[in-house]
Structure 1
Amino acid sequence: MELANEPIFQWISQFAYSPGTVYLVIVGMMLLSAVGLPIPEELTLISVGILAFVGKNPDVFPPPYAGAPVVNVHYAAIIAFVAVVFSDTLIYTIGRVFGRKLLYHPRVHKMFPPHLMKRVEEWTHKYGMYACGIFRFTPGIRFPGHLACGMMHFPLWKFLLIDGIAAAISVPTQIYLLAHYGEPILKKLREFKIVLLVVLVLVAVYFLVKKLRQRSAEKNA
């Protein structure tokens, strides 16, 4: 397995045999992500899936000692699911308790300008209980979306039902897919990374040439 020779996997494999720490990190990262910090929860889920994949292949990623505990994919999926739903509900509760005055808090106002919150509220009015699921599948507006559901006193049981269903679909799936089919998926991600890098370079060159032409035109004028 050629992935085992890459430095990033040699470094990350050490955590695959510290399941207790990984489970605590899952909860902590989900809470930080829920309160609006720029830590995509997808990054945490992918990392946990990779660790479970490493733990399932001790012949490729040797454990520090015989019988070392590994990250259990089932435990990781359950903990991640519970942490995600709990975090979403925490934000919902904050919105419900403090109401619209939260929108005037400097931090919230800076992170989520009025036009974004207005769009979130419009979606909540338009889609009703299904808005919870839309927010869960839409990175970037999860925090304001769950906050809006609370501010608008969306019924808690409906929020838990829709958010729970959406989380059950999206959260464990990412962990299980990487844990069971890690090698081909990671190879594709690596190929995608190379393609993305090439595209970004081309875009940067395009804008650089465009900027130079504009300056040249202004100078000639």
Structure 2
Amino acid sequence: MSIFQEPIFQWLSQYAYQPELVYAALVGMMFMSAIGLPLPEEVTLVSIGVLAFMGANPHHFPPPFEGAPVVNMHTAAIIASVAVFGADFLIYAIGRIWGRRMLQTPFMKKIISPEMMEKVENWTKKYGAYACGIFRFTPGIRFPGHLACGMMHFPIWKFALIDGIAVMISVPTQIYLLAIYGEPIIKRLHQFKMVLFGIIGIILIAFIAKKIKNYFMKEEQQSSQ
């Protein structure tokens, strides 16, 4: 489906020249997406990027009147990054404060199966707090992943650092690339996202592999002493 046919884009595009409403909607949608509601974060970010592209190219997308306010790419990128990080941290905090009791609520039972939660927890135990960086790039397990990081009481500073880096890699990148190079990227959006996430995945795997290697080297040094 083309981004122009997505219900999220069609709804946001009604307010393309009312940027304050777009920014407010962006924050709200990021938080709703974070708690598992069916509002795909990626579609929202792409929609915002396209609106910023429209605002930066009035010769292609004439505004309703001269001097009409438009969605600014820099403002959108900052607001989106802060909103995404805030939503991630909120889920982590909920898991940390309420723990496994959250999984017994009717809402949680609807959106997180016991099998999915077990898989996420095992993955989190295996990779530690670094798993939260992987969760950020994995739609579908992002919410239970961040919840698990909180439930397992990973250090707050470590979660904030790793998730913050992951957010800064993925969120403003999508908005800026779409706002600046909108037309060719919109035409090849699927390929673009596959390449972007492939590169990010390689970086994360290399990072985790280095940490594991350092851990075993440290263990060998301690056993030889």
| TM-score, with length taken from structure 1 | 0.79
Shift of residue 15, structure 1, vs aligned partner:
2.8
SS across alignment from 1:16: coil
Q: CA shift at 1:16, angstroms? A: 2.6
- C-alpha displacement at 1:67, in angstroms? 1.2
Between the aligned partners of 1:18 and 1:136, the Cα distance in structure 2 is 30
Q: Distance in 2 between matches of 1:60 and 1:43?
A: 22
Q: Secondary structure at the match of 2:188?
A: helix
Paired residue secondary structure (2:96)? helix
Residue aligning to 1:213: none
Deviations 1:178-208 (A, max 9, x none): 111111122234999xxxxxxxxxxxxxxxx
Identify which range, 109-118 or 134-143, moves more after superposition. 109-118
Q: Which has the larger radius of gyration?
A: 1
2:130 is the counterpart of 1:130:
yes
Give 1:140 deviation, angstroms: 0.3
Looking at structure 1, the residues matched to 126 and 180 of structure 2 have their Cα atoms a distance apart, in angstroms, of 39
SS of aligned partner of 2:15: helix
- Identity among equivalent pairs (%): 67
How do 1:173-184 residues align onto structure 2 when only pairs under 5 Å count?
A: 173-184=173-184
Offset at residue 96 of structure 1 (A): 0.8
Match of 1:99 in 2: 99
Q: What is the match of residue 90 of structure 2? A: 90
1:26 alignment partner AA: L
CA contact (8 A) 1:29 1:44 kept: yes
Moved more, 124-133 or 106-115: 106-115
- Distance in 1 of aligned mates of 2:83 and 2:5: 30
Q: Which residue of 1 aligns with 2:61?
A: 61
| 1:21 aligned partner | 21
Please report how far the alpha carbon of residue 103 of structure 1 lies from its aligned counterpart in structure 2 after TM superposition.
1.5
1:50 aligns with 2:44: no
Letter in 1 for 2:68: A
The alignment partner of 1:39 has SS state of coil
> In the TM superposition, what is the alpha-carbon distance from 1:7 to its structure 2 partner?
9.0
Structure 2: gaps spanning 5 or more residues: 193-225
Conserved? CA contact 1:13–1:54, under 8 Å: no
Query: Deviation digits for residues 9-50 of structure 1, max 9, x if unmatched?
Result: 999755332110110011000010011101110011000000
Q: Indicate if the aligned counterparts of 1:32 and 1:39 stay in contact, CA closer than 8 A.
A: yes
Distance in 2, Cα, partners of 1:131 & 1:190: 25
Give the aligned length.
Answer: 188
From the superposition, tell whether residues 12 and 82 of structure 1 become closer, same or farther in structure 2 (CA, over 3 Å). Answer: closer
2:110 is the counterpart of 1:110: yes
* Amino acid in the other structure paired with 1:55: G
Does the CA contact (< 8 Å) of 1:15 and 1:51 recur in 2?
no
Per the alignment, residue 155 of structure 1 pairs with: 155
Is 1:186 the counterpart of 2:186? The answer is yes
Structure 1 SS opposite 2:58: coil
SS in 2 for 1:65: coil
TM-score (norm 2): 0.77
One-letter code aligned to 2:158: K
Residue by residue over 1:36-84, the C-alpha shift from the partner in whole angstroms, topping out at 9 and shown as x without a partner, is: 1011100110000000000011112111221111111010000000000
Q: Contact conserved, 1:13 with 1:61, CA < 8 A, in 2?
A: no
The CA distance in 1 between the partners of 2:41 and 2:86, in whole Å, is: 14
Does the residue aligned with 1:60 lie in a helix, a strand or coil?
A: coil
Contact 2:12 2:22 in 1 (8 A): no
Tell me what 2:70 maps to: 70
CA distance in structure 1 between the partners assigned to 2:189 and 2:73 by the alignment? 21
Q: Does the 8 Å CA contact 2:129/2:149 hold for their aligned counterparts?
A: no
CA distance in 1, matches of 2:109, 2:154: 22
